[in-house]
Amino acid sequence: MSENRADLLVEALPYIKNYRNSTLVIKYGGHAMVDEGLRDRFAQDVSLLRFVGINPVVVHGGGPQIDEILNRLNIKFHFVEGQRYTDEAVMKVVEMVLCGRVGKDIVGRITRAGSQAVGLSGKDAGLIRAVRKRLSRQSESGEDQEQVDIGLVGEPTGINVGLLNHLTDGGFIPVIAPVGVDDNGVTYNINADSVAAAVAVALSASRLILLTDIKGVLDLDGQLLERLTEARIKELKKAGGVTGGMIPKLDCCLSAIRGGCRSASIIDGRVPHALLLELFTDSGCGTEILP
């Protein structure tokens, strides 16, 4: 048993050397944010990354937690083309939950694991600049594109790199809520995957990692695809091999790679210590996307 454990440490060594002094952007969401044990293990993983000389930056979601509070407050909400319609009442809850309850819980757990974490929203020092997102869909006639109103939903246009570099240089782990603001001070709810990709590009991160509730990208037979390139992803899309929510996740990964990331990964956050398995073992824990 002790020999097997030693083998794992030796296997991890070249990966630790490869990522040392580099920045990794991690989108934290899904079941890993709900299960109590997984939440603590994620905090331990992120803390360990910092201990071995890697700069982790966490961007978190919080959809289930937002739903819970909206229902408790009897605030009606709905989704349009998979996006949460965000009016002013919903936006207040989104900001309260993401920047308060969820963000502070993650910060507290990482701190208890031995590292120093700082919770941020896009409003802090103009961290996430945003514009209102314009969504188009096919009209019922199928002939034209129509604009769809999704309320106060935004997309990132700029990241305050100086603030994040100041924190990571000081030994802190930034924990970012995906709430942005425009030049007029309007607050927007932003998809966490999109924010994570924008942060990864802005920081010239070595890798973007998205935690999900599935094994990774699966083929038509349900088998895990361990590695994909942009060309292969195009083929899969054309053949209908990837559908639904996986398409925007892959698009975020490709956006990060085009922006300078060496690679991106979509991993199974339901697996204990999935982050360490993906980064420090030969087998990994999901799908790695390469240029």
Domain boundaries along the sequence of the chain: 21-212+245-265
Q: What is the pLDDT of residue 244?
A: 79
Q: What is the mean pLDDT of residues 222-235?
A: 90
What are the pLDDT digits (tens) for 78-110?
988 888 999 999 999 999 999 999 999 999 999
Q: What is the mean pLDDT of residues 202-208?
A: 97
Per-residue pLDDT for 118 more than 60?
yes
Per-residue pLDDT for 50 more than 80?
yes
Retrieve residue 246's tokens.
Answer: 């996986």
Taking the model in full, what pTM does it have? 0.93
Per-residue pLDDT for 3 more than 90?
no
| Residue 258 host element (H or E) | helix 246-258
Query: What is the side-by-side strand order in the sheet with 227-229?
Result: 116-121, 172-177, 55-60, 23-28, 207-212, 263-268, 286-290, 227-229
Per-residue pLDDT for 34 more than 80?
yes
To the nearest 10 degrees (0 to 180), the angle between helices 246-258 and 230-239 is 160
Instruction: With cut-offs at 50, 70 and 90, classify the pLDDT of residue 284.
Output: confident
What are the pLDDT digits (tens) for 241-254?
887 788 899 999 99
Q: What is the pLDDT of residue 1?
A: 43
State the CATH architecture for 21-212+245-265. Answer: 3-Layer(aba) Sandwich (3.40)
Q: What is the pLDDT of residue 144?
A: 60
Give me the chain's average pLDDT, please: 91
Retrieve residue 274's tokens.
Answer: 């999935």
Tell me the β-bridge partners of 56.
24
User: Higher pLDDT residue, 262 or 4?
Assistant: 262
CB-count exposure of residue 183 (10 Å: 0-12, 13-18, 19+)? exposed
Instruction: With cut-offs at 50, 70 and 90, classify the pLDDT of residue 260.
Output: very high
